[in-house]
Structure 1
Amino acid sequence: MTSMSFADAARICLTAKYATFSGRARRAEYWWFSVVYMIAAVVVAGICLAAGSVLPGILLLLFIVPMLSVSVRRLHDTGRSGWRMLIALIPVAGPILYLVGMTVDSVPATNEYGPSPKAVGQPVG
């Protein structure tokens, strides 16, 4: 089993699996890409404030598709449908339930969404 780094997660989510909603994603891939997304959001917000325009905010649209796809793949890794992401829309409790669902460990064996990305011999990416 190979560990996933910040750079691996960014590379996978922004290139190889940019809009891949099938398959599975390890916890590390999801959380590291979440960090990438948050950094991008802070940088773009700073640019918007400095420029006095919301136009640079359009740059964040480039990150929405990979964030959604890694979220769906993460839910698949826990044996849940990607549609379960919609639970976050429930006021107050929804976002909490969503985050708890993202912290659950992977289903160790192959499930209906594919083989475990943590399996020995599976390359990162």
Structure 2
Amino acid sequence: MFGPIAACEAFIFNAFNVSGRATRAEYWWVFLAQFLIYVVSITMDIWSLYVHGFAAIGFAGMLTPWLLLLFAVPTLTLTMRRLHDTGRSSFKIAVVLLPVIGLPLFGYYLVAGSDMDKNKWGEPRHPSGRVVTSAKTMSDGTASAQKHNPFASYAYLVNGEADPTPATLEARRAEISDYYRSRVLGQGA
């Protein structure tokens, strides 16, 4: 899963990146972090008003407006990448302007699942944050048309301790031998 630290790191380093994709976890971890930062900021602003009165309102007296300005562009680009991950154009942000149904529809876009296939904004991202390729490369360098199986890791956990069959061992030996001949010895396949 895309953790909170990795999500905030991607938020900072992709602040001006409008292309690509952002997973659900990446978006919502940043949303939670910003929410907590704004709660603390607003609390500090209210406390400053209480202690210093309206004299605190000045060029740098309030923290929240500065944070809103600081996070405006990175949040916009993150939202655009989140829409790309669901297979939608970033112009769908404009749906917020629709009366009554705009915000719920936009919220649905943000919580929608990721497009598991490659789209025009790139390959899908694994929850660990790395890009997943849709085609598996075989030992001879050609790409197979197999789709990613999300249950393959569970099958490995269940069957991982089992002894391999003689056919599996022979297939592994042949693959290693082919790899050694082509990559180490430089012989053609």
Using the size of structure 2 for normalisation, the TM-score is 0.59
- Whether 1:117 and 2:125 are equivalent positions in the alignment is yes
Matched residue, 1:44? 41
Q: Contact 1:88–1:98 at 8 Å: present in 2 too?
A: yes
How many corresponding residue pairs? Answer: 120
- 1:7-54 Cα offsets, whole Å, 9 max, x none, are 11111102x111211100000001111111111211111121111236
Matched residue, 1:77? 85
Cα distance in 2 for residues equivalent to 1:75 and 1:102: 7
- 1:1-125 correspondence runs (5 A): 3-14=1-12, 16-52=13-49, 53=57, 55-57=62-64, 58-118=66-126, 122=130
Q: What CA RMSD, in Å, does the superposition of the two structures yield over aligned residues?
A: 1.9
For the residue of structure 2 that corresponds to 1:18, the secondary structure is coil
Q: Could you tell me the percent identity over the aligned residues?
A: 32
Rg larger in structure: 2
Moved over 6 A (4+): none
Instruction: Compare relative contact order (CA 8 Å, sep 6+) and give the higher one, 1 or 2.
Output: 1
Gapped regions of structure 1 (runs ≥ 5): none
Gapped regions of structure 2 (runs ≥ 5): 50-56, 132-189
Q: Contact 2:83–2:110 at 8 Å: present in 1 too?
A: yes
